[in-house]
Amino acid sequence: MIKVKARAGESVQQMVKRFKKMCEKEGLIRDMKRHSYYEKPSEKNRRRNKRKPTRAL
């Protein structure tokens, strides 16, 4: 769980910016996008295999 405490003299915009950076660093935004729709297991495997480097003999 991400918590953002206000620093001395910090504006709300700066707090929101820090919160967004923390979410991005933790990978929450990526997970939310990935889990926003159902992905079939075959599509999941295809996506994972696409990232792997291909072997050249």
The token pair at 55 is 């072997």
pTM tops 0.75, yes or no: no
- pLDDT at 6 > cutoff 70: yes
Average pLDDT over residues 24-48: 91
| Average confidence score pLDDT of the chain | 89
Neighbours of 17 (CB within 10 A): 13
| Torsion sign, CA atoms 52, 53, 56, 57 | negative
**What pLDDT does residue 56 have?**
67
Distance CA 18, CA 1 (A): 14
